[in-house]
Structure 1
Amino acid sequence: MSATASDPRHALAGLDPAPFTFTRRCWVDATPDSVYDLISDVSLIETWSPSAGGVSYAPGDGPWVGARFSGRNRRDGREWVTHSEVVRADPGTAFAFVVGGADHGIVRWDWNFHEQGRGSIVQQSWQLLRLDPVLGDTLQDVHSLRDHMAASAESTLLALAEWIADTKSVTWAVPRNGPRT
């Protein structure tokens, strides 16, 4: 039998996961509806995230509560597959999923979108829901994971903002009545 976080022999037994959370935000030059459409299309996350790739919904699923998707994660030269479930899907407002599924998940990711000026504030939050040996065996491992994920979220948000700006500049560079010949 392997030790778990609820097993008193496990180094993290009794540790409250609640403090292991963070929120990062940035402004992007797009409406909340447009940003929601990008984020809820989980296959696009590898466009911006330095640690996620190969993300796709299960056949027949999409951006709605209860939908499931899987993806590859990378950290410290390792790669693994995660399975997640959408737990909130409010177009133009919020999108959230739980890694491991709603009932027994380990981590929750929330994306919130708020109009500001001609664009939006995009807020990304990460919350550790429960401890699991897959996260590491020591308190330092869990702190390191949270710090890594915070850095990844910052990189993702900045890459998203840059991608939106670059995409708009390419789209807007062509005159509305077509290119001149």
Structure 2
Amino acid sequence: MNPTERRWSVEESVFVKAPADRVYAAVADVRSMARWSPECVAVRGVAAGPARTGARFVGFNRKGPFFWFTGCRVTRAEPGVDFAFRVSSFGLPVALWGYRLAPEADGTRVTEYWRDLRTGRYGKVTQAMGRIFTGTRPEVRHLANEAGMRATLERLRRELESR
């Protein structure tokens, strides 16, 4: 596949030497995301600890000179298995982000996944907003997300394995 060919979903995974319940507690505590993500700088509007299905929060992000915020809602909160949230901007769907957990012999396989939801009736509007706010063209957003996922997962792994 051509790396600049638009992809609508990507995922990355890493093995973490920690039990699935501990990994889940970390990724479901969305306020911690700013420690791991290269784009997320803060999360507000949700209490510390694992967020539950339906919980809403605001993510604040930065990439170089670009700064933007998104509205998020937890869509799946299955301890030890899966945690996901939908991202929107001004009420329009942008993406689905999540973490699947699979216990393995000495730890957990953590897969971070992203699906672009900028489709349908308002797809062009949210694609244009994404380019304006983030400085990233929609056809290469998956490349930025893959790199960000690798960084996020590596930082998460290091933090959990150092405890």
TM over 0.5: yes
For the pair 1:88 / 2:60, whether they are aligned, the reply is no
For the pair 1:162 / 2:152, whether they are aligned, the reply is no
Q: 1:40 aligns with which of 6, 25, 28?
A: 28
Aligned pairs for 1:32-181 within 5 A: 32-58=20-46, 63-100=51-88, 104-130=92-118, 131=123, 132=126, 133-136=128-131, 141-167=137-163
SS of the residue 1:22 aligns to: strand
Matched residue type, 1:151: A
Q: Percentage identity across aligned positions?
A: 27
Q: 2: CA distance between counterparts of 1:146 and 1:76?
A: 17
Q: Which has the higher contact order (CA 8 A, sep 6+)?
A: 2
C-alpha deviation, 1:147, in angstroms: 0.9
C-alpha deviation, 1:59, in angstroms: 6.3
Unaligned runs of at least 5 residues, structure 1: 1-16, 168-181
Q: 2: CA distance between counterparts of 1:63 and 1:165?
A: 22
Quote the RMSD (CA, aligned, Å): 2.3
Q: Which runs of 4+ in 1 moved over 2 A?
A: 56-62
Greater share of helix residues, 1 or 2?
A: 2
Q: In structure 2, do the counterparts of structure 1 residues 63 and 135 end up closer, same or farther at CA, with 3 Å as the change threshold?
A: same
Q: TM-score, normalised by structure 2?
A: 0.81
